[in-house]
Amino acid sequence: MRKGVMAACVLATSLGLLTAGCGDKHKAVPSSGGLAQPTSPGPEQSPPESPGAPESSPPAATESPGATVSPAPGPVTINAKDTSVGKILVDDKGMTLYLFDKDKDGKSSCTGECEKQWPPVVTTEKATAGQGVDASKLGTTDRPDGTKQVTYNNHPLYHYVKDTKPGDMNGQGAQAFDGKWYVVDATKGDKIEKK
C-alpha cells in the first residue's frame, strides 16, 4: 500500500500535479480544489514614460533697433506746380509745401508735436531750384535740433501729414499750433490765402 501511494505521488509530481497525501516534501493542492495552476505573471509593466523634452516655445523675435534715419540724406529739389489756387511750391515727389505764419525772421517756431503734424523740409546739402522756382529765394535755416530746414523767401517750408498723395492741399488755411498754414506762391514766395 505504501509503495502504491509513493508511486502515485511520483507520477503526480512528474505531471506537475500536487496532492495532499504526498508527504511534507510536496505542496498541498490549493483550497479551491482541482489542479494547481502555474502562477501567471502580473500585467507587464511598461517602463515609466519619460516626460520627454518640455515643449519649448520658439524664441521671441527680437526687434532690432531701427537705424536713425537722416531726414533728407542728400540734396532737396523744390519745384513749382500749377494748381487751382495758383502756382505753388512742391517737393520732388509733387507733395505740397507750406509755410507757417507764426514763423518769424526765417526761424521755425514749429517743434515737438507740431513738427510731427507738419514735418519740416530738411536737407544735409544745399536745396536745388526746379523749373519755375526762383533759386535766389531758396535757402536754409538752423532748427533747434541742429538740422537744416529749407526756406523760400525766408519762410521755412513744411509738409503736412494729412497730405497722402501729390496734389493734396489738406493743410491749406488750417489753424493749428497758434498759427495758420498756407501753400507758398512759387513766384512771389509768399502765402496764398485762397482755397
Give the Cα separation of 173 and 93 in Å (integer): 22
Contacts of 123 (CB under 8 A, 6+ apart): 71, 72, 74, 75, 76, 140, 148, 150
pLDDT computed for residue 60 by the predictor: 41
How do the domains of the chain map onto residue ranges? 1-34, 77-192
Contacts of 121 (CB under 8 A, 6+ apart): 72, 76, 78, 91, 97, 149, 150, 156, 157, 158, 159
> pLDDT tens, 134-193?
999 999 999 999 999 999 999 999 999 999 999 999 999 999 999 999 999 999 999 999
Q: What is the mean pLDDT of residues 21-47?
A: 47
pLDDT band at 74 (very low <50, low <70, confident <90, very high): low
Greater pLDDT, 57 or 142 = 142
pLDDT band at 71 (very low <50, low <70, confident <90, very high): very low
pLDDT computed for residue 195 by the predictor: 84
> pLDDT tens, 76-126?
999 999 999 999 999 999 999 999 999 999 999 999 999 999 999 999 988
Residue 35 has pLDDT above 60, yes or no: no
Q: What is the mean pLDDT of residues 41-49?
A: 49
CA distances from 44 to 39, 40, 47, 48, 51 (A): 14, 11, 9, 12, 20
Greater pLDDT, 3 or 148 = 148
1 is written with which cell numbers? 500500500
pLDDT band at 45 (very low <50, low <70, confident <90, very high): low
Contacts of 81 (CB under 8 A, 6+ apart): 87, 88, 89, 90, 94, 132, 186
Give the Cα separation of 161 and 31 in Å (integer): 99
pLDDT computed for residue 75 by the predictor: 83
CA distances from 49 to 9, 14, 52, 53, 148 (A): 49, 44, 8, 12, 70
Query: CA 154, 160, 162 angle in degrees (round to 5)?
Result: 165
99 is written with which cell numbers? 509755410
pLDDT computed for residue 125 by the predictor: 87
Strands in 86-90's sheet, in edge-to-edge order, are 86-90, 77-83, 128-129
The reported pTM is 0.64
What number of helices (H) and strands (E) belong to the chain?
A: 2, 11
